[in-house]
Amino acid sequence: MLGLYTTSPLAHSMIAQVFEEDKSFCYDRDMTNLEIAELLRNVAAAYEILGENPFKTIAYQKAADSIEHLTSDLKDMWDDGKLDTVPGVGSALASHLDELFRTGKVKHFDQVLSKLPKSIYPLLLVPGLGPKKAYKLVSELTLKDSKTVIADLEKAAQTHKIAAIVGFGEKSEEVILSGIESYKRGQIKENRMMLPEADGIARDIINYLKKMPEVNHADPLGSLRRQVATIGDIDIAVATRKPAVVIEHFVKYPHQKLIDKGAAGATLLLNNGRQVDLRVQKPEAYGAMLQYFTGSKHHNIKLRTYAVGRGLSLNEYGIKQVKTGKLTEFASEEGFYQALHMPYIPPEIREDKGEIEAAVSGRLPKLIELSDIKGDLHMHTNYNFSSSHDIGASHVKEHLDKAAALGYEYIGISDHNPSISNQTQKQIVAVMKKRKEWYEQQYYSLKDGLKKRVHLLIMCEVDILTDGKLALPDEAFEYVDAAIVSLHSSFTQSRKDITKRIITALTSHPKVRIFGHPTGRLLARREGVDADWPEVFATCKKHSIALEINAYPDRLDLPDSLVYEARKEGVKFCIDTDSHEVDQMDMMRYGVSVARRGWATKHDIVNTLGYNEFKSWLQKGV
DNA sequence: GCCGTTTTCGGCCCGACTGTTTTCAGTCG
């Protein structure tokens, strides 16, 4: 295959001359992981156009993927001399990245990138355009300005200048225009839905499908099955012997538009604007299909690479012996993984974070399950005591009833601390004393049966003020069993300031036991704070403070990637719902999903402890 | 350019889809 290594037939030297005024590349030594990944992808694209060894191109793309998925800043890892621990970064790339962080430039990248017109690189972000097409369009249409290249291309498509280019046609113009449309939408990031919304939609449809006797199994696929915090499209798999009947039934589900219908499935645009794909498969091959479409992409690539080493090739229909071409089908995913000599890997951890290696060597963690949860420590009742933030909508007795129904041994009421702006410290202490007495009175008035089953802990969610002090006077701590401390203001402080602020708060009183929704992120609305997480984790570990995994739908905070990191350091977690209304206590399972995605076992989670053990953890931190 | 149950050389995931083609290249997930 000599052709792979020869120079592209396109006359890039000529093009480079046309664009010679446009040669400088701006990047700096404080690039984010995302920006570095984009830089490496640009180099890979240039290599591809220039006809470099295709595996070198793939190596750059792999490194870019891997850097994009890191949970710490690459620059911090460089600081710590840990560049070589990044998968896909070998000695050559490590040396280039070292040059980048030291000098803010990489000579080799500049050389490669400047062989091509700079205006091709923005086009790579448009769906449907890869290196080859981007290069051809830029060359043929002489699109010089990288700042306006996307708008220029849009204009060229609208005025039908693209159909005239060899290899493009009228349809290409439409595809390019719709690609530019989604590129623009992608910039606004409005498309993804939060996990519970996607989960609810999928559950309704799965229940609807399961009413048919022809449906043997129905499951979500993709990021929803892996329980990622935000979901793009909803994909659903069905095992059946009567695919046509199932598809007919599916397209009768209430919708605004039937987008596609074929022998293997159908796509609907629902009334709520969400898109749902259905895929059908015969029961014998259902396991292979589930595995294939659950992903993640990185997990599947790693798994297929592993299989190739054993003379096997994986696809959506089964496992093929490379030598004989014999295909074995699998009805279940368990069987599929077993055939690869490893235990079943739960969907939540299929992210290529070491789960395949762990499975092969028998080190796969036994992930926490919803039924392991024995209590919920973060909820707000409708008891009104001049609280600093919002109060809840339900009575404490409703919360206790619900806890009993969920089989919990205990709950903690964690109302916000009293407002500090219009009350003296003395008044606040009095309010807290009265609050404790009120809750105790409510609890004592319960029926004996409920009291025996569910214990009540009187806690408080205390604001961490801008300087790290707590918004509750020391004397008031006498009236709570324990405190959750949380950030509710000044989210944009510098990393140094916010880290110091958090650590000050965590170590300011022995009754501070849980760090609530640690990053403060609100999905699709607010980024989390930029703290030095390893330092925060070390403090939690030292003082035996639990990091909260807040299950509230738009929080899911601590995020799964940080759960994974913190767990490696031996930090404990507490999964809470932060309920402001009694039915929200059902959201616990989303918190459990986050914990599972972070590889947590029940031993990593303090509210899997029975009441007595939990109480002793609260008091002594054992 | 990376990497190791084929470990310092010789491989590198897999198939679907689409448009422009008449047998395939490019892109995507």
Nearest nucleotide, CA A303 to C1'? B13
Quick: pLDDT tens for A113-164.
Answer: 999 999 999 999 998 899 999 999 999 999 989 889 999 999 999 999 999 8
What is the CA A495 to C1' B17 distance in angstroms?
46
Task: Spell out the residues 6+ positions from residue A594 whose beta carbon is closer than 8 angstroms to its own.
Answer: A227, A229, A549, A551, A556, A558, A559, A560, A563, A575
- What is residue A8's predicted lDDT score, i.e. its pLDDT? 37
Torsion of CA A534, A539, A544, A550, to 10 degrees: -60
Q: Which residue has the higher pLDDT, A574 or A322?
A: A574
Do β-strands A573-576 and A546-550 pair in parallel, antiparallel, or remain unpaired?
A: parallel
Query: Which contiguous run of DSSP H or E holds residue A554?
Result: none
Q: What is the largest CA-CA distance in chain A?
A: 88
What is the CA A445 to C1' B2 distance in angstroms?
68
What is the CA A224 to C1' B6 distance in angstroms?
37
For residue A527, pLDDT over 60 is answered with yes
For residue A2, pLDDT over 80 is answered with no
What is the CA A43 to C1' B4 distance in angstroms?
26
A245: exposed, middle or buried (Cβ count in 10 Å: 0-12, 13-18, 19+): middle
Question: What mean pLDDT is reported for chain A?
Answer: 90
What is the CA A306 to C1' B7 distance in angstroms?
15
- Say which residue the tokens 């839905």 belong to: A193
Measured CA to CA, the distance from residue A300 to residue A95 in angstroms comes to: 29
In this prediction, residues A489-515 reach a mean pLDDT of: 95
Q: Taking a C-beta distance cutoff of 8 angstroms, is the pair A264, A280 a contact?
A: yes
**C-alpha to C-alpha distances, A287 to A293, A295, A565, nearest whole angstrom:** 10, 13, 31
Q: Taking a C-beta distance cutoff of 8 angstroms, is the pair A113, A46 a contact?
A: yes
- Say which residue the tokens 């006809």 belong to: A51
- The gap from C-alpha A260 to its chain's centroid, in whole angstroms, comes to 29
3-class DSSP state for residue A574? strand
Give the residue whose CA sits closest to B29 at C1'.
A297
- The gap from C-alpha A304 to its chain's centroid, in whole angstroms, comes to 23
Nearest nucleotide, CA A126 to C1'? B27
Q: Taking a C-beta distance cutoff of 8 angstroms, is the pair A157, A164 a contact?
A: no
Measured CA to CA, the distance from residue A411 to residue A474 in angstroms comes to: 24
Q: Which residues of A169-285 form beta strands (DSSP E)?
A: 193-194, 215-220, 230-231, 234-240, 257-261, 265-269, 275-281
Nearest nucleotide, CA A163 to C1'? B20
In this prediction, residues A417-434 reach a mean pLDDT of: 91
For residue A190, pLDDT over 90 is answered with no
Instruction: Kindly report which listed range (A413-417, A492-496, A533-537, A585-589) carries the lowest average pLDDT score.
Output: A492-496
Sequence letter at residue A28: D
- What is residue A11's predicted lDDT score, i.e. its pLDDT? 37
What is the CA A421 to C1' B27 distance in angstroms?
59
What is the CA A132 to C1' B25 distance in angstroms?
10
Protein-covered nucleotides on strand B (Cβ within 7 A): 1-3, 5-6, 11-21, 25-29
In this prediction, residues A292-306 reach a mean pLDDT of: 92
Instruction: Kindly report which listed range (A195-199, A260-264, A490-494, A614-618) carries the lowest average pLDDT score.
Output: A260-264
Measured CA to CA, the distance from residue A272 to residue A574 in angstroms comes to: 34
Nearest nucleotide, CA A172 to C1'? B19
Quick: pLDDT tens for A446-455.
Answer: 988 888 789 9
> pTM of the prediction?
0.86
Mark residue A544 as left, alpha or beta (left: phi above 0; alpha: psi -120 to 50; beta: remaining).
left
- What is residue A10's predicted lDDT score, i.e. its pLDDT? 39
Give the residue whose CA sits closest to B14 at C1'.
A315
Q: Which residues of A476-601 form beta strands (DSSP E)?
A: 482-486, 512-515, 546-550, 573-576
3-class DSSP state for residue A208? helix
- Work out the percent of chain A whose per-residue pLDDT is above 90: 71
What is the CA A357 to C1' B5 distance in angstroms?
12
Q: Taking a C-beta distance cutoff of 8 angstroms, is the pair A275, A269 a contact?
A: yes
In this prediction, residues A304-313 reach a mean pLDDT of: 91
Measured CA to CA, the distance from residue A383 to residue A162 in angstroms comes to: 66
Quick: pLDDT tens for A214-228.
Answer: 999 999 999 999 999
Reported as a pLDDT band with limits 50, 70 and 90, residue A26 is low
Q: Tell me, what DSSP letter sits at residue A557?
A: B
Give the residue whose CA sits closest to B4 at C1'.
A309
Nearest nucleotide, CA A128 to C1'? B27
What is the CA A291 to C1' B7 distance in angstroms?
30
Reported as a pLDDT band with limits 50, 70 and 90, residue A525 is confident
Q: Taking a C-beta distance cutoff of 8 angstroms, is the pair A247, A234 a contact?
A: no
- Alpha-carbon Rg of chain A, whole angstroms? 28
Question: SS3 string of A127-168?
Answer: CCCCHHHHHHHHHHHCCCCCCCHHHHHHHHHHCCCCCCCCCC
What is the CA A227 to C1' B18 distance in angstroms?
31
Quick: pLDDT tens for A346-390.
Answer: 999 999 888 999 999 899 999 999 999 999 999 999 998 777 788
Q: Taking a C-beta distance cutoff of 8 angstroms, is the pair A376, A577 a contact?
A: yes
Q: Taking a C-beta distance cutoff of 8 angstroms, is the pair A545, A515 a contact?
A: yes
Task: Spell out the residues 6+ positions from residue A198 whose beta carbon is closer than 8 angstroms to its own.
Answer: A224, A231, A234, A274
Nearest nucleotide, CA A265 to C1'? B16
Nearest nucleotide, CA A66 to C1'? B2
Q: Taking a C-beta distance cutoff of 8 angstroms, is the pair A488, A519 a contact?
A: no
What is the CA A507 to C1' B17 distance in angstroms?
57
3-class DSSP state for residue A456? strand
3-class DSSP state for residue A531? coil
> How would you label A156-186 residue by residue, b for 16+ Cβ within 10 Å and e otherwise?
bbeeebbeebeebeeebbebbeebbeebeee
- CA-nearest of A348, A346, A359 to A307 is A359
- What is residue A20's predicted lDDT score, i.e. its pLDDT? 43
Give the residue whose CA sits closest to B28 at C1'.
A128
Q: Which residues of A497-572 form beta strands (DSSP E)?
A: 512-515, 546-550
- What is residue A191's predicted lDDT score, i.e. its pLDDT? 64
- What is residue A621's predicted lDDT score, i.e. its pLDDT? 57
In this prediction, residues A506-534 reach a mean pLDDT of: 92
In this prediction, residues A554-559 reach a mean pLDDT of: 93
In this prediction, residues A437-441 reach a mean pLDDT of: 95
Measured CA to CA, the distance from residue A95 to residue A613 in angstroms comes to: 51
- CA-nearest of A375, A367, A366 to A608 is A375
Measured CA to CA, the distance from residue A533 to residue A517 in angstroms comes to: 13
Give the residue whose CA sits closest to B1 at C1'.
A56
Task: Spell out the residues 6+ positions from residue A563 whose beta carbon is closer than 8 angstroms to its own.
Answer: A547, A549, A573, A594, A595, A597, A598, A599, A600
Instruction: Kindly report which listed range (A335-344, A392-401, A521-530) carries the lowest average pLDDT score.
Output: A521-530
Nearest nucleotide, CA A165 to C1'? B20
- What is residue A9's predicted lDDT score, i.e. its pLDDT? 35
Instruction: Kindly report which listed range (A26-35, A180-189, A318-327) carries the lowest average pLDDT score.
Output: A180-189
Express the helix, strand and coil content of chain A in percent, nearest 5 each: 45, 15, 40
Nearest nucleotide, CA A182 to C1'? B28
Sheet containing A327-328: order of strands: A312-315, A318-321, A327-328
What is the CA A294 to C1' B22 distance in angstroms?
37
Measured CA to CA, the distance from residue A456 to residue A409 in angstroms comes to: 9
Q: Taking a C-beta distance cutoff of 8 angstroms, is the pair A439, A458 a contact?
A: yes
